[in-house]
Amino acid sequence: MRQKAVVMIESSTTGRLFHAAAKRLGCLPVLLSEDAGKYRDLDPSDVVTVFANTRSIEAVAEVCGRLRRTFEVEAILSSSGAYAAVAAGACRVFGLAGADPDAISRCQNKFEQRTQLKAAGLATPSYKSVTTPRDAAEFAAAVGLPVIVKPVVGSGSMGVRLCENLSEVRAQTSHLLRAADFASSPGVLVEEYIDGPEFSIETVGRIVIGITAKHLGPRPFFVEVGHDFPARLPARVKKQVTFAVMTAIDALGLHWGPAHSEFRLGPKGPVIIEINPRLAGDFIPELVKLAYGIDLVEETIKLALGRPVNLTARANQCAGIRFLNPDRDGVLRWHCDPARARAVEGIIEVEIHAPEGSPILRRGDFRDRIAHVIAATPRSDHTITALEQALALLDARIAERRDR
């Protein structure tokens, strides 16, 4: 009998969790990647890596066809939202369980997604897709400053910036139109800034798992520096948000698999910022597991394998994560013992991302993080206190860089 395999297209912060879950379910994890060496936490003993052009459904299907000569390929998926449409398309080629690739593609285009949500009668920020700095400035002036300028297609807060004046709008638009990192984006989205706390709601199909409170770093960027799960919100607000997100999922055709929907509580109520047709990143699935006992990664793989899933909460804890980001560029110097942070009551995990001597060049997105701490306790205030205490013990100092 041939070994069963789960094919993963590229990876993300939750990629290693997918590999481990596939093994627990009796399947060999196979990673398709254009460059597997870019994943710092990838253990070669945990996963078989195969080179593939992961931007192409046809190329992925061709590689999977070859793999099927050796393995029983029972699922194709990705932990990264950037490759969700490719994974869904490859599933369709082989008749495997998966999302609608056309719905995924439309959803990943932030302009098309906004248009669909607006047509469904949902509250969204005012927005416009532009291809010149002049058009961006004209719309910003009309809608009112500040505005958010970001790529039409993108993830991880990359290229997202709050612009306070028209000069910043023109400069950011020009940057996004020229930068290689955003070459695949079909333009720039300028949108109204909704002032208010930010949250996300985690769903699988039409099943709501819970709501996550998000903590953002300083302006002008939107770097997420922490999450709390479950969020403390009034029942009335939870009901409003749940109704809005379910309406959005129906409008976008995202009826299969996990989704990570971001919203803000603005002056007039909840406003959907965007729907991501994937499982949440940033260790949120680990927070859900600590708080509710639901392993979203494993249940997602079960769904892809066509096996029964169990999304019922089996615990009642409060979990959180905080990321440590540098406040300046330079060279990283650690002046602490992480063991002290790990010893704080309630702390589950302390991880250093960047070693001593690492060059620091901030980009204003998730790549700036140099460490994180995770905690779980029966009470949200106790969890937050543990996170703050542990993070304070991670003494990172940025020295001036002296290039020779």
Which fold, 4-98?
Answer: Rossmann fold (3.40.50)
Per-residue pLDDT averaged across 116-131, rounded? 94
Q: Domain residue spans in the chain?
A: 4-98, 126-192, 317-404
Token pair of 372, please? 């994180």
Provide the pLDDT confidence category of residue 322 given band limits of 50, 70 and 90: very high
State the chain's maximal CA–CA distance in angstroms: 65
Q: Are strands 224-229 and 207-216 parallel, antiparallel or unpaired?
A: antiparallel
Provide the pLDDT confidence category of residue 27 given band limits of 50, 70 and 90: very high
Cis peptide before 186 (omega within 30 of 0): no
- Euclidean distance between CA atoms 284 and 197, whole angstroms: 18
pLDDT at residue 404 is higher than 70: no
Its CATH architecture, for the domain 317-404, is: Alpha-Beta Complex (3.90)
Per-residue pLDDT averaged across 30-34, rounded? 95
- Euclidean distance between CA atoms 242 and 259, whole angstroms: 13
Choose which CATH entry (2.160.10.10, 1.10.569.10, 3.30.1490.20, 3.30.830.10) describes domain 126-192: 3.30.1490.20
pLDDT recorded at residue 185: 82
> Residues 251, 120: contact at Cβ < 8 Å?
yes
182 vs 376 pLDDT, higher one: 376
pLDDT recorded at residue 403: 56
> Average pLDDT of the chain?
94
pLDDT digits (tens, 9 = 90+) for 287-314: 999 999 999 999 999 999 999 999 999 9
Token pair of 112, please? 């098309």
Cβ within 8 Å of residue 271, ≥6 positions away: 123, 124, 125, 194, 196, 263, 264, 265
Return the C-alpha torsion angle 34, 38, 42, 44, nearest 10. 60
pLDDT recorded at residue 305: 97
Q: Which residues are catalytic?
A: 278
pLDDT digits (tens, 9 = 90+) for 328-353: 999 999 999 999 999 999 999 999 99
pLDDT at residue 401 is higher than 60: yes
pLDDT at residue 92 is higher than 90: yes
